[in-house]
Amino acid sequence: MIVTSDNFKTSAIKYISLFNGLSANEQDRIADSIVQSLMVNRIAEIPVQDFELIVNQFYNLVCFGPITNLELFITQDCNLSCDYCFVKEKQHKIMPLESIYSSINFLTFYSGNQKNLNLTLFGGEPLMAKKTIKKVVEYISKLESKSKAKKYSISITTNGTLLDEDFLRHTRDKINFLLSIDGDQQTHDVYRKYQNGRGTFNTVVSKIKLLKKYQPWLGARMTVLPDTITQLYHNIVSLYNLGINQILLGPAMDVEWNEKAMRAYEGQLRRVGQFYLKKKQKKEPFRMTLFENNNNGIECHEHQWGCGAGRNTISVNTNGDIYPCSKFLGYEEFDAPELKLGNIYMGIANIELRKKLSMISDSSFPTCVSCKEVNACMGGCPADNYHLHRNIHKAGKAHCRIKEIENRILREMYRDE
């Protein structure tokens, strides 16, 4: 079926009216914008499916703003078997190139007038699909050469075991790699293992020098758990000595943190904070996002509640289904359709979920109103909250306790600034 210029506006309003929460004037305004865009591009007729996707795009841009970050699960396959991985069911499945290109186009369309867009390749282990990654780089290069309107940055979170010189040479200056490594060998090998149970530390460390040859500044994602917390300071110093320049701490929130582990976290984090300040004072090449002044959570304003999930960030799986972020996608096991935002071919149709994520504030968390950290907290990870309580607006006890500890240490660190 075809929609023609004679009934562009009527058809647009008919489709927009299916979404809740818009007045007649707002519907009319969005419809006029759609008609104007089609006319400017001299489109006289358009297939119904394409027309509905355009209407969906305009509706989302007007009501929620642009999407600038796309997490793309290009494969469900992985060569490791990490105990704490949130993707429970690995499959030997790689996303078709047509779906990847459509996902990138989707990001382009839903980014509105934003120029700088971010594409993160996830898995499984993304490097299980190196040929696909090379095609992604080529496609992005073609898009940028055709138009200067958008600039795409590509990043990959990888376990590092499959890095090789040919691949790094091919992707040099085109991809930023974030390494998943949890500390020294004793800590790292507790959870990050090959499928045969053998630890991966020696393999990962052997790749660091090679990786820094092509990417001098190297960041690491470090998962922190209760049974390894007493080694946190030692592990961060170890990673720095291995050549890691930036560390993103990720305390696991879906495990039990007893009081002993919490006290250990506070003591260790205080030592880490002093280590960070010394490196900062000496202007050495080292960063920790948690401790940086503009991200310390001490004065968290209302608009900072929640994260970018479903707001300016989406995650797409190998089937083209859209989720708010990679962790939501990992919880497909719950068979909860309310977690899915839509599909790259049909647009973002789960407006209720996007509204919950985009309009999140302290009032969204009734149990947080009386908390002394209410103005210095972002409400926890929505995906973790759902995992624990089937409610994105109810943070877990571990998050609340850890945030309290972090804020106390941050206030001590920056008391005199």
363-376: per-residue pLDDT in tens? 788 888 888 888 78
- Do β-strands 2-4 and 69-73 pair in parallel, antiparallel, or remain unpaired? unpaired
The residue among 292 and 202 whose pLDDT is bigger is 202
Please provide the average confidence, as pLDDT, over all residues in the chain.
Answer: 89
Q: What pLDDT does residue 406 have?
A: 94
Burial class (CB in 10 A: 0-12, 13-18, 19+), 399: buried
Q: Is the pLDDT of residue 297 over 50?
A: no
Region 319-342: mean pLDDT is 82
The residue among 318 and 330 whose pLDDT is bigger is 318
Q: What pLDDT does residue 166 have?
A: 96
**pTM summary value:** 0.89
Confidence of residue 26 (pLDDT cuts 50, 70, 90): confident
φ, ψ dihedrals at 311, nearest 5°: -95, -70
Region 326-355: mean pLDDT is 83
- Separation CA 403–CA 413 (nearest Å): 15
Q: What pLDDT does residue 86 have?
A: 62
Please report where in the chains the tokens 């190139």 appear, as a residue. Answer: 97
Confidence of residue 87 (pLDDT cuts 50, 70, 90): low
Q: Is the pLDDT of residue 295 over 50?
A: no
- Separation CA 34–CA 359 (nearest Å): 24
* Tokens describing residue 227: 């049974």
Confidence of residue 332 (pLDDT cuts 50, 70, 90): low
Q: Is the pLDDT of residue 360 over 50?
A: yes
Q: Provide CB contacts within 8 A for 150, sequence distance 6+.
A: 108, 111, 115, 117, 143, 144
How much of the chain, in percent, has pLDDT values that exceed 90? 61
Region 393-410: mean pLDDT is 92
Q: What pLDDT does residue 302 have?
A: 39
The residue among 167 and 26 whose pLDDT is bigger is 167
Q: What pLDDT does residue 240 have?
A: 98
- Separation CA 362–CA 302 (nearest Å): 7
Q: What pLDDT does residue 349 have?
A: 87
Cβ contact 400:371 at 8 Å: yes
- Which range among 74-78, 221-225, 291-295 has the greatest average pLDDT? 221-225
Confidence of residue 299 (pLDDT cuts 50, 70, 90): very low
Q: Is 55 left (phi over 0), alpha (psi -120 to 50) or beta?
A: alpha
Cβ contact 306:284 at 8 Å: no
Q: Provide CB contacts within 8 A for 198, sequence distance 6+.
A: none
Confidence of residue 59 (pLDDT cuts 50, 70, 90): confident
Q: Provide CB contacts within 8 A for 381, sequence distance 6+.
A: 253, 307, 327, 399
**Contacts of range 20-25, beta carbons closer than 8 Å, 24 or more positions apart:** 20/351, 20/352, 21/63, 21/351, 21/355, 22/59, 22/63
Confidence of residue 294 (pLDDT cuts 50, 70, 90): very low
